Structure 1
Amino acid sequence: MSLIAIIVIFSLAASTLQVSWPRGTYTLVKPKSGCPQGWLEGWRQQDSEDTHNKNFFTPGHHFAGSFSGQFVKYQYCTKNPHQFSNRNYWPRGNYCILKHGPSCPRYFRPGCVYWDDENSRNANKQNGILPSGSYGPDTRIDYCCRKDGSYKTYMSLPTNKPFYLLRFREPCQRVSGMFVREEIVKTDDENTANKNYVRGWHPLRAGGSDHVLHYCYYWKY
């Protein structure tokens, strides 16, 4: 067999074994670079506190959508469960994703974060496919988190496009072949009789009348 033929066969085998997203359905926050090919998209706008709003977003963040002094509009990428995958499970680590469907992927544990959005002239709205939760005048989003590995251990995920995960109980999980940058979103939630809460395993460090989420933005070396 010629050297060229061997190289071609090796290249085809490598492309066949390319890391894919794990099977099942789940949601990731959409970066400006877009969703993985074939994934389903949607968005949710949350109306934050009107009075002396103190929303904060990491300067130079990479979120798709729009973030201002009153409104937070996330865009989402949800994996189509019928899309082909050559792997069954997410790798071990310390991180969270967003839940979509009746249950979390295997080895994750469920939880949720509830935002008490602005009461007066509430302008919450949404469209498309969203993570599991509740989307009325207030917002509840369901999460899937795990802590069965060290954040220092590099795990394998697709590297062809940037993506977001969420911090859990340690710094941002390391991913092979990817840089990582922590990006923060703080929402100034309703001041009057605030009803914010959290349940189960969730990405917040602590609850309170305002919520702060720590995202991990990954991009290729």
Structure 2
Amino acid sequence: MILRQVALIIAVLVIHSSFVFLVTGVSTPETPFQLKVTPALVNRYTAKNMTLRCDHNPGVQTEISQVFRIRILKKSTSGWSLVAEQRDNENSPRVTGNLTASATVNSGVSGAFLQVSWLDVGEDNFGVYICEVLAFDISNRLASVPSLELDIHEFEFPTEYFESLSKETHDTVIALKKTTDSEIPSLKKDIIGVHELVDTIHQNQSSILSQIDKFETNQSSLKSSVKELETRVSSMQSSLTICETKLSSLTQWPEGFYALLQPKTGCPVDLAFFRWHSQVSYNTHRISIKFRPSQYFQLICVLTSNLIHRQFHTDSWPNGSFCINKILSKPCPDGFSSGYVTFDTEDTDYSGYAINNVATSVSGPNLQFCCQKTGSAESPIELPTSSPFLLYRLGGDCQTVQGMNVTSQVLQFNTEDYSNGDSVGGTYPDIDRPGSVIKFNLCYYY
């Protein structure tokens, strides 16, 4: 009977200790998107196919209407590192490390998800994870929605603890089995010793239970501190989203359809166009005009889609004195006047051509412009300053742009030497025409 009580006490302690190594930090219903791990108890020696999934928490109401990017990140000593990412313009998720992923974005909130799986579980799988969703709300405003942090700990089996705790009782049982009737007097003394051992175990049990109570109290306090920290982090992330939105509003090119000459540094960067490399912001085209002795190419940057443009760009061009390239199929932005310059290219074996959004395809290529002279070139105007860009000069002086340096440059075209038919019309940039040459005066901002 005594041995059964000892075994029962040991079993209670083992069962209690086995629940210490659980996964903590699973997203609560307070966030629109949740991050979950499967299986819930992870151990590198037994777990296979560990899976992390970020999806909508159906128990939380949200104003998010359309998701276009989901990322799963892991905390490291230097910050947050990317585990997997899915964007609406990519066919499959981008991943880091030896894992597989599946996802659906560019859909309603309920159908959006990002899931990653590891075939084998190792040390690198444990740590703190978070899911970040970039989306539009019902008012077409950009929103960054994070999940709560998910802290994955390794579940440890208490085998060694069980063996250590039961060794003394096990030895006593073996000794009892070897006793005989002739050893009963000695056995009675041993029974008294067992009683004393049981009393000691009861005392130890009380001490252990007291320590467990203290641990649970500390754990409750720790959970409260973690909850407070999560609230602070959420507040900081909300503030960061506001700052990013404000920054985006400060680095946007004005609304309208137009094109800019491309400097050597590439097309201008516009942070509002978060996927500019995927034909939503500026696309690169060529002004291709054939001259002797070889073809001449000038790259231009054309705004080819106005969908995202309408979402973010609400400011008109500032008043000033300068010109930009006109999109043939579109009107000039408000406040601009149109004009053109026509090139008379070589008559023999060097007929000119230009096929793109800013020049007509005729024997004499025709470039069209949008120009405005609604303010003084000396009065600074606000344009994005995150990367260099080019404007055509108008009125003899380069327009001053706040926060940018400017230098003058020349773009020269050699045209027909005899009976030259170069022509201009409307409002066009400052050009020089010494003989059979057309020189455009440019302003390079950096």
Partner of 1:94: 321
Aligned-residue sequence identity (percent) comes to 26
Per-residue CA deviation, residues 89-132 of structure 1 (Å, 9 max, x unaligned), is: 111100000100331110000100001111211264556x431x
- 1:107 and 2:331 are equivalent in the alignment: no
Cα distance between partner residues in 2 of 1:124 and 1:189: 10
Q: Could you tell me whether the CA contact under 8 Å between 2:257 and 2:331 is conserved in 1?
A: no
**Counterpart of 2:299 in 1: which secondary structure?**
strand
Question: How far is 1:13 from its partner?
Answer: 4.9
1:47 equivalent among 251, 271, 290: 290
- The alignment's TM-score, normalised by the length of structure 1, stands at 0.78
**Counterpart of 2:445 in 1: which secondary structure?**
strand
Identify the structure with the greater helix proportion. 2
Q: Which structure's relative contact order is higher, taking Cα pairs within 8 Å and 6+ residues apart?
A: 1
**Counterpart code for 2:402:** S
**1:110-189 aligned within 5 A:** 110-122=338-350, 124-126=352-354, 129-131=356-358, 133-189=359-415
Q: Which runs of 5+ in 1 are unaligned?
A: 51-68
Paired residues, number: 197
Q: Could you tell me whether the CA contact under 8 Å between 1:42 and 1:126 is conserved in 2?
A: no
Partner of 1:200: 426
**Counterpart code for 1:41:** T
Cα distance between partner residues in 1 of 2:445 and 2:363: 32
**Pair 1:149–1:27, CA change in 2 (3 A):** same
**Counterpart of 1:17 in 2: which secondary structure?**
helix
**Pair 1:70–1:158, CA change in 2 (3 A):** same
**Counterpart of 2:243 in 1: which secondary structure?**
helix
**Counterpart code for 1:77:** C
Cα distance between partner residues in 1 of 2:403 and 2:257: 24
**Counterpart code for 1:184:** V
Q: Could you tell me whether the CA contact under 8 Å between 1:159 and 1:177 is conserved in 2?
A: yes
Per-residue CA deviation, residues 12-54 of structure 1 (Å, 9 max, x unaligned), is: 4532432311112101111111124331221122233x4xxxx
- 1:73 and 2:297 are equivalent in the alignment: yes
- 1:33 and 2:257 are equivalent in the alignment: no
Cα distance between partner residues in 2 of 1:17 and 1:204: 32
Cα distance between partner residues in 1 of 2:369 and 2:390: 14
Q: Could you tell me whether the CA contact under 8 Å between 1:20 and 1:87 is conserved in 2?
A: no
Of structures 1 and 2, the larger Rg is shown by: 2
Partner of 1:65: none
Partner of 2:307: 82
Identify the structure with the greater strand proportion. 1
**Counterpart of 1:178 in 2: which secondary structure?**
coil
**Pair 1:9–1:186, CA change in 2 (3 A):** closer
Question: Which range is displaced more, 105-114 or 30-39?
Answer: 30-39
